A and B are shown apart, each in its own frame.
Chain A
Amino acid sequence: DGGITQSPKYLFRKEGQNVTLSCEQNLNHDAMYWYRQDPGQGLRLIYYSQIVNDFQKGDIAEGYSVSREKKESFPLTVTSAQKNPTAFYLCASTLAGAGGTQYFGPGTRLLVL
C-alpha cells in the first residue's frame, strides 16, 4: 500500500539534544511538508520542499532543520535551539499538479524529559 510513514510514534528529547524525526513516502509525490501541531491549535508550517535538494522555510522554522536528499524522504531535525519542542509533528506530501490535496503521515509526538 502506498502512503506516508513517520517514525518513531513517540520521541523523548533530553536538554541540549538534537533529535531527528523520520518521514518516508512511497507515493512518488514531489512536494513534502512538515507541520507542528500544539494542543487545541491548528497546523503551523515548519519547512517544505518542492523538489529534491531544495527546501523552503515555513512560518516557524527557527530551531529546526531539514534535508531532502531523496524524493521519498524528508527528515526533520529538532535542534537544541528549539526551546519549546513538545508538540505533535506531522509530515505531509502532495503530487504536483494534483490540486493541492495533502496526504498525511500518522505523526510523531515529541516530549521533553
Chain B
Amino acid sequence: GNSVTQMEGPVTLSEEAFLTINCTYTATGYPSLFWYVQYPGEGLQLLLKATKADDKGSNKGFEATYRKETTSFHLEKGSVQVSDSAVYFCALYAATGGYQKVTFGTGTKLQVIP
C-alpha cells in the first residue's frame, strides 16, 4: 500500500536559519504530493502541493520539489521565523480501488526560537 515517511522531530532552529524537513513516499502510479501545516489546537491547512514529477510547489517562502527518481518531496525554507513554529505533515493522494484516499506522514514538529 501507499506510505509516507518523514523525519522525526522536534526540529529546533534559530530564527533566520535554513529549514529542511525530509519526506519520502511509496506509492503505485503517479500520486500527488502535499505539505500541510498544523498550528496548536487547530486543523490542518494546505501549505503547498505538486501533482507530477519535477513540479515545485511553493507558498509563504516554503518550497518542495516532486522527485520521482528518489521518491521524495522535501520541504525547505531559506529563513524561518518564529511564526513558522507548527507541525508539518507530508501527504500523498492517490486513487485506490476507485476510492480517493490521502496518506499522511506522522508529522514533524518545528520550533523556531528568537
List residues of chain A with CB under 8 Å of any chain B CB. 4, 6, 31, 33, 40-43, 45, 48, 50, 56, 90, 92, 94, 96, 99-107
- With A42-B89, A94-B100, A99-B51 already in contact, the answer to whether A106 and B107 are too (CB < 8 A) is no
Considering only CB atoms, which chain B residue lies closest to A103 in the complex?
Answer: B46
If over half of A's interface residues share one DSSP class (helix, strand or loop), that class is named, otherwise mixed; here it is strand
Q: How far apart sit A58 and B104, CA to CA, in the bound complex (Å)?
A: 13
List residues of chain B with CB under 8 Å of any chain A CB. 32, 34, 36, 41-46, 49, 51, 89, 91, 93-94, 99-102, 104-107
Q: How far apart sit A49 and B77, CA to CA, in the bound complex (Å)?
A: 35
The 6 A-B pairs at the shortest CB distance, nearest first, are namely A100-B93, A104-B43, A42-B106, A104-B44, A43-B104, A42-B104
Contact among B45, B46, B51, B99 for A56, CB-based, below 8 A: B99
Q: How far apart sit A91 and B36, CA to CA, in the bound complex (Å)?
A: 15
Contacting pair B44 A102 (CB below 8 A)? yes
